[in-house]
Structure 1
């Protein structure tokens, strides 16, 4: 009888931890941006919604907002849980194409639990390995192929 009680308690606690992780990302704001002289992209992910802004000037700026599907949101939650926000300033960029206009300059900012976390600049399309899955998922949510 005690074994059954322990199993039920373990399942119950496991479910509440899973919901807590989802609430954590619901309270986070992820902002990915990439830019060059002629290209500007900003993606903001917040509470199962992705807002995409393209262009810098009011004349060229377009903004779209899309709801993130449940399956994509679950994948984003899993990737966010694996991310160590404290290491953002120490991440190493794998390429330096942005130094000679070979790639747009990109970064990822996260607002989480009243703290701001920001990565070092990296090349758009070539994020640091530690955040590669998260960045690629954010960009894929917007169907941005550039």
Structure 2
């Protein structure tokens, strides 16, 4: 009987932690902004929705779509692995943005009323610690460009 109780308790706690991580991402706002002289794009992920804007002034219409469950699970897994306090200390792997070789990218997470932000890096070349996360967010913009 003790073993059965222990197993049930372990399963219950495991499910609780998984749903807590999902809830954590639902309460976060993730912004990925790319800009250069002739290009601008802002991708915002919030509460299983993605919003894409290509207008710096915000006057153009934004494209909002629901994130599919499989993609959302991947984002939740990426979010779990990010150390929020260390985002500002991440080093950009390349410096093409200094000579117009790449657009300037910024990555920001607003979580529990605290903003965590990276320093600028080259679009397409994010720091390795957040590469999977950034690439997943960019995939939403690519999907919308194809449609």
* Shorter-chain TM-score range: over 0.9
Aligned counterpart, 2:54: 54
Q: What is aligned with 2:18?
A: 18
User: Which residue matches 1:80?
Assistant: 79
CA distance in 1, matches of 2:111, 2:15: 22
Question: 1: CA distance between counterparts of 2:141 and 2:65?
Answer: 8
Alignment gaps of 5+ in structure 1: none
In the alignment of these two chains, the number of paired residues is 144
Matches for 1:25-104 after TM superposition, within 5 Å? 25-57=25-57, 61-104=60-103
Post-superposition Cα deviations, 1:79-108, rounded to whole Å, max 9, x if no partner, equal: 000000110111000000000101000010
User: By how many angstroms is 1:56 displaced?
Assistant: 2.2
Other structure's SS at 2:142 match? coil
1:74, distance to aligned residue in structure 2 (A): 0.3
- Equivalents in 2 of 1:57, 1:107: separation in Å? 17
Note the C-alpha offset of 1:63: 1.5
Structure 1 segments (4+ residues) deviating >4 Å: none
SS of the equivalent of 1:142 reads: helix
Structure 1 counterpart of 2:119: 120
Q: TM-score, normalised by structure 2?
A: 0.94
Q: TM-score, normalised by structure 1?
A: 0.94
Secondary structure of the equivalent of 2:56? coil
**SS of corresponding position for 1:94:** coil
5+ long unaligned stretches in structure 2: none
Question: 1:134 corresponds to which residue?
Answer: 133
